[in-house]
Structure 1
């Protein structure tokens, strides 16, 4: 896996979706892979996102509604969205109040797939 390729994916998502301000990729155990952040502390963001993903997965399993895709948190100043990337990774997106959540979900799906390939060491030509 090339960290530069992962960073390229993060930057492309940030450029495509209005309102996205920061992004990061981490493992499900909270270890940072790489980040495109300006204000957030990437290691803290990775750890908290892993905990968020874990709670979301457990909740979805408990209520029997299938495999987790994403967790959306809406705050007074914006959004935190955590996407599952295959079994071992996650993508976290921070966004301002201008985020079009539906657009993010559509644009993030191919990004999540490519990130999964990159994390697994598969070329994404």
Structure 2
């Protein structure tokens, strides 16, 4: 896996979706792979996103809604969105209040697919 290729995907997503502030990719156990981040502490973000992903997966399983696609958290100042990247990783996106969540979902799906391919080659 090329860390630079992962970072390139993160920057493309930030450029394509207005409101995206920071992004990171981590393993499901919370280890940081790469971050396009200026304010958040990437290692802490990776660990918390992994916990969020795990809780979302477990909840989806318990209520019989199938495999988790994403978890969206809305806060006073914006959004935290965590996407599952295959079974072994995640993409976390921090965005401001002006985020078009639907647009993010449309743009993130191919990004998640490409990240899965990049990480599988690791």
> So what's the TM-score if we normalise by structure 2?
0.99
Cα distance between partner residues in 1 of 2:121 and 2:35:
18
| TM superposition outliers: structure 1 runs of 4+ over 3 Å | none
What's the counterpart of residue 36 of structure 2? Answer: 36
Shift in Å at residue 33 of structure 1?
0.1
Shift in Å at residue 108 of structure 1?
0.2
* Number of residue pairs aligned between Structure 1 and Structure 2: 122
What's the counterpart of residue 94 of structure 1? Answer: 94
Cα shift readout 1:59-89 (whole Å, capped 9, x = no counterpart): 0000000000000000000000000000000
Shift in Å at residue 41 of structure 1?
0.1
Shift in Å at residue 16 of structure 1?
0.2
What's the counterpart of residue 45 of structure 2? Answer: 45
Unaligned 5+ runs, structure 1:
none
Alignment of structure 1 residues 67-82 onto 2, 5 Å: 67-82=67-82
Cα distance between partner residues in 1 of 2:113 and 2:100:
20
Unaligned 5+ runs, structure 2:
none
Shift in Å at residue 18 of structure 1?
0.2
2:34 is paired with a residue of what secondary structure?
Answer: strand
What's the counterpart of residue 106 of structure 2? Answer: 106
